[in-house]
Amino acid sequence: MEAGPAEKVTDEEALRLAREVADRLMESAGGAAEKADLADGAPGIALALRYAAEVFDEDRYFKAGQLHLRRTAEMSAAAPLQAPGLYLGTAGVVWAVTEYARLEPRYLPTLATMTDQLARQTRAISLNPAPGSVASHDYDVIGGAAGWLAALRKAADVLGGRATDVTREAADRLVDYLVELTRDDGGPLRWFCAPSHFPTILGPDGEPTPLPGYVKQFPDGVYNLGFAHGPPGILAALCRPDTAHAAGTADQEARSHRVRQGVRELARTLEALRIDSLDYPAWANLLLPHPDSGRPDTGAEQVPARSAWCYGPPGVAASLLPASAACGEPEPTDLAVATLQGLERTPAEQQRINSPTLCHGLAGLVTVYGRAAAQTGLPDLRRMHDAFLSRMCSYADPDHPYLFPDYDPWGGHEHSPGLLTGAAGVMLALLGAVSGTAAEWDELLFLTPRPARGHQSGGTGAETGPDRGMGEK
């Protein structure tokens, strides 16, 4: 468990820990090597090793990552990925291959083929934005349209002229769907999840049936407020500059206008759904529908969500941070900054920060605050980033197989090499904390490209150029 407050971590110490994790991932990735998902399988480990190779300027990490990509391809060929999700399906593999194609042009033909397949896979899925017809996994970051869109846009950026019309059409369709979900017609919000659209398991008769826990807790449906499964992910996906500010044909410009309006409305909705009774910005995990209107019942008693990327203020702030640039209003980014600064006033029992990992732990906070400090230049956010980095590093224990375990709220732990809840995510946070080049990996969490290099602060001599062509022989 955490050893307690620590002194500011030097770049050298952060790099030492990152290298140790990278070496351990090279020696053994355990069962993760047999999974084809980005969240905790081979693609996520490949992504982490790719950035280790770039920062440490060592081809052995790049080659090890290539082996994980090759294993992913073999697994996908034997058992094709049926879902397009970013963290759980095809889009995640596309994301990892895109990152390798940025450095190794020989991946471009493979990337073009996979991106076209992802586009066709998403186009085959029916997406209905009507109120009462939406499930969180239809639109969310983890498995839904927000993640699909981010992967398609990222791949198209790297492919350039190799991107197909099918890819562009699929991305435009996803943009239109997500924009529709931002509309407020005065009744239930469009991203409301009715009981008929709850996650399912197979029942005794072999047919899908809603998870019993959901039905018991949310008999009338639920509004999800987390970045991972709620509207903050929609907001972040729509805030990409190539989505909010696309120019060219009249259709593109009209779509960009709708995107900017959708960003504006959804940012205002998130602000309206914060917990009013606190002197710092906070949100609940979930809100129930009001029994009369069906809209989020903000008057009911609310418990603040934990302080994490997946749920809670840091994740909501991550979605609001780029929204001002996307919609032309200062309020969203102002709220993001106030939210991030407000974490210092949040009682520890509400923060519930008890793990070094990415999804719900300190690596996520290091990444969120690093991005925010780079974008705003605010010393307070840089100071908080450094404090979270020190806390994260204090969890390092050489007796654990991957150096950083994932802890649950009761002190139990698991040893995972994966990205979202394992050591690969911690390693990426360490690398991003000391290298401006490596910090670009965080697009995976925010779904929007980082600010231009000239607008970032920090950086060390550990950086290497992004055009090194690693692995090309």
Residue 275 CB partners (closer than 8 Å, separation 6+): 282, 283, 284, 302, 304
327 is in an annotated binding site: no
Residue 383 CB partners (closer than 8 Å, separation 6+): none
* The pLDDT of residue 211: 76
Residue 345 CB partners (closer than 8 Å, separation 6+): 279, 280
* The pLDDT of residue 361: 96
* The pLDDT of residue 452: 64
* The pLDDT of residue 230: 96
Q: What's the rounded Cα separation, in Å, for the pair 322 and 180? A: 20
The residue whose two tokens read 């069906």 is 294
Closest CA to 120 of 91, 98, 146: 91
393 is in an annotated binding site: no
Q: What domains can you pick out in the chain, each with its CATH number?
A: 7-80+356-450 (no CATH), 81-352 (1.50.10.20)
**pLDDT digits (tens), the chain, 473 positions:** 454 556 799 999 999 999 999 999 998 888 888 899 999 999 999 999 999 999 999 999 999 999 999 999 999 888 888 899 999 999 999 999 999 999 999 999 999 999 999 999 999 999 999 988 999 999 999 999 999 999 999 999 999 988 999 999 999 999 999 999 999 999 999 999 999 898 777 777 777 777 777 888 899 999 999 999 999 999 999 999 988 887 778 888 899 999 999 999 999 999 999 998 888 999 999 999 999 999 999 999 999 999 999 999 999 999 999 999 999 999 999 999 999 999 999 888 888 999 999 999 999 999 999 999 999 999 999 999 999 999 999 999 999 999 999 988 777 889 999 999 999 999 999 999 999 999 999 999 999 998 765 444 333 333 333 333 333 32
Instruction: Using the CB atoms, write b or e for 234-261: b if 16+ within 10 Å.
Output: bbbbbbbeebbebeeeeeeeebbebbbe
* The pLDDT of residue 473: 28
310 is in an annotated binding site: yes
Residue 199 CB partners (closer than 8 Å, separation 6+): 135, 137, 210, 211, 214
Closest CA to 266 of 276, 275, 258, 256: 258
* The pLDDT of residue 469: 33
Residue 31 CB partners (closer than 8 Å, separation 6+): none
